[in-house]
Amino acid sequence: MIDHVAIQTSGKGLHEITDAVQRIVAASGVTEGLCTVMIQHTSASLTIQENADPSARRDLEDWMERHVPEGDPRFTHTAEGPDDMPSHIRAALTATTLSIPVERGRLALGTWQGIYLWEHRRRGSRRRCVVHLGA
């Protein structure tokens, strides 16, 4: 079964999509299998991270800003602005696809784990993820 999650981001940052993906799992009727989530973009990514303390997300975002800064004069791919190439690098360093087991009709995430769409562009964008469930 294939479905989609769409999210309008307001700019850079981690946007939790766990509930949207879990709703698809629940509606599918799959009780045991594998849920694969893939983002259909090259300037945003996916990650599983702590969803209890927002400071963990802020620290991740700050780390990424320090290690992949905008405005590096060596970047040549800048057609869409100074965040263009850094967004692609950030997506390459993280993940575009996640695989999560399904147990008893639920995502088998740990207690403090959530699924996040990580927007790497400054401007907001409509992002789309494909969700595939296999038994």
Average pLDDT, integer, range 17-45: 98
User: How much of the chain exceeds pLDDT 70, in percent?
Assistant: 100
Domain boundaries, the chain: 2-134
- Report the pLDDT value the prediction gives residue 125, as an integer from 0 to 100: 95
127 has pLDDT over 90: yes
pLDDT in tens, 47-83: 999 999 999 999 999 999 999 999 899 999 999 999 9
Residue 131's CB is within 10 A of a number of other CB atoms, namely 21
- Report the pLDDT value the prediction gives residue 69, as an integer from 0 to 100: 95
Q: How far apart are CA 98 and CA 38, in angstroms?
A: 7
How is domain 2-134 classified at the architecture level of CATH? Sandwich (2.60)
135 has pLDDT over 90: no
Write down the H helix ranges in the chain: 18-28, 54-67, 84-93
Closest C-alpha among 93, 92, 91, 88 to residue 75: 88
- Report the pLDDT value the prediction gives residue 124, as an integer from 0 to 100: 87
- Report the pLDDT value the prediction gives residue 128, as an integer from 0 to 100: 98
With 0.85 as the threshold, say if the pTM is over it.
Answer: yes
